[in-house]
Amino acid sequence: MDLFRAMTVFAEVARSGSMSAASRKLHISPAMVGQYIAALEERLGMRLLNRTTRKQKLTDFGNSYLEQCHDILERVAASEIQAEGLQNSFSGKLRLTAPLTFGTEQLVPALQRYRDIAPDVEIDLILTDRVIDLVDEGIDLAFRIGKLNDSTMIGRPLMPYRMAICASPDYLKKYGTPHHPDELSEHYLISLTVSSRSPWTLSKGHERIEVPLHSKLTINNGQALRMAARAGLGIVMQPEILLSEDIESGKLIRLFQEWHTGERQIWLLYLRDKKMTPKLRAFINVALEAFTQDLVQ
């Protein structure tokens, strides 16, 4: 038995004065009304109505139970009104997750655009290179880099994530400048800990080279790798967005510019059954506008 539905039927019977009147109001048959009342009385183990062929009257317990039903039904109705209001407004919390480097260098600066649209929304941004389960951790939107393997989520492609190979002027002065990827095996390479076993792949035309990583230094943070490269500790391959400022200022020198150092797709992900509330739709549009040109209508 649907207890909430049964309580609604009982309250309408009491208000209308008869089961037939309640059936017309609720658009169900009189027999169905009777079944709801009987099921409710059986569940409670108490009679709610004294019925005769001509009239019906609430029992003392029925009167008491009716007050409680009214209280519960009013609370539920108020909650639904509140929920509907929240769904149709820019309010509440929005939980996001993104990889550390992309989140720091690209996403955080773009958040002001969303703040201008939805100033009352509380943003909870989790920056981590760990893949977070959206359902388990209550995440509304996720930015991911690379291939997608989860069909339960909608993926919107954003800009490609390009890589650059760099070293500091001091390093190159001390150890020499490599002019071909084959020469990288003679240099100190510094890499991200999670990818320290993956070779660097470079291509030019039909030529493709994989550089095995025997890093003398691995670090689990992109910003720290950037600083290590600036300090002359070795050659680094990191995202362009992380190194571009240092390249422009001359603190890092870009190597192998004629070689393609690979790129990976950035995705904006959300669950397929996620309700498209105004605050969620607005953020998706801000992200798409910042990192591509498509919009959610």
86-109 tens-digit pLDDT? 555 677 889 999 988 889 888 998
Given this model, what pLDDT does residue 295 score?
A: 43
Looking at the fold, whether 16 and 147 belong to one and the same domain comes out as: no
- Give the lowest-confidence range in 17-26, 147-156, 275-284: 147-156
- Give the lowest-confidence range in 86-95, 250-259, 261-270: 86-95
Q: Is residue 268 domain-resident? A: yes
Of 147-161, 195-209, 214-228, which has the strongest mean pLDDT?
214-228
Give pLDDT tens digits for 47-84. Answer: 888 876 567 788 888 888 888 888 887 777 766 665 65
Say what the pTM is. Answer: 0.58
Looking at the fold, whether 280 and 146 belong to one and the same domain comes out as: yes
Looking at the fold, whether 143 and 285 belong to one and the same domain comes out as: yes
Q: Is residue 72 domain-resident? A: yes
Looking at the fold, whether 22 and 145 belong to one and the same domain comes out as: no
Domain residues for 54? 3-87
Q: Is residue 297 domain-resident? A: no
Distance between CA atoms of residues 144 and 156, nearest Å: 10
Contacts of residue 65, defined as CB under 8 A and 6 or more positions apart, other chains included, come to 10, 44, 46, 48
Among 52, 87, 122, which residue terminates a domain?
87
List the beta bridge partners of residue 65: none
Distance between CA atoms of residues 9 and 15, nearest Å: 10
| Residues 193, 194, 199, 202, Cα dihedral to 10° | -100
Given this model, what pLDDT does residue 195 score?
A: 59
Is 21's pLDDT higher than 50? yes
